[in-house]
């Protein structure tokens, strides 16, 4: 994982695609994962530095709100490395 992780949950595939496009165009972030938690709910996960993640999530939120698909958002600064396991990303685990 990088310095920060941003999560944006939207309702609907079109809102997810629109939000992902807006996030990737707005800031220097990388879309690492897309999680479908139940039919119709999609969580987009981006990583980058904290400022870029915040800018990307803001842009994605605005895009999803225009389509009425915004559900929730969160930006995590310096996430715990083990969180990568939860998000389905290859991460470096700390040795116990």
Residue 67: CATH number of its domain:
3.30.70.1710
Nearest of 11, 28, 21, 87 to residue 60 by alpha carbon: 21
How many domains would you assign to the chain? 1
Is 78 part of any domain?
Answer: yes
Closest among 84, 71, 62 to 8, alpha carbons compared: 71
Entry pTM = 0.85
Q: Which domain holds residue 76?
A: 4-83
Mean pLDDT, rounded, for 81-93: 67
Sorting pLDDT into bands at 50, 70 and 90, what band is 88?
A: low
Assess if residue 76 is contained within a domain: yes
pLDDT(75) > 60: yes
pLDDT confidence of residue 93: 45
> In the predicted model, what is the mean pLDDT of residues 43-64?
95
């Amino acid at each position: 994982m990088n310095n920060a992780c941003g999560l944006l949950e939207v309702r609907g595939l079109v809102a997810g695609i629109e939000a992902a496009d807006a996030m990737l165009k707005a800031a220097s972030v990388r879309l690492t994962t897309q999680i479908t938690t139940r039919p119709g709910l999609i969580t987009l996960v981006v990583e980058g530095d904290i400022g870029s993640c915040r800018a990307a999530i803001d842009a994605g939120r605005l895009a999803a709100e225009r389509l009425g698909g915004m559900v929730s958002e969160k930006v995590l600064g310096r996430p715990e490395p083990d969180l990568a396991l939860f998000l389905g990303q290859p991460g470096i685990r700390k040795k116990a």
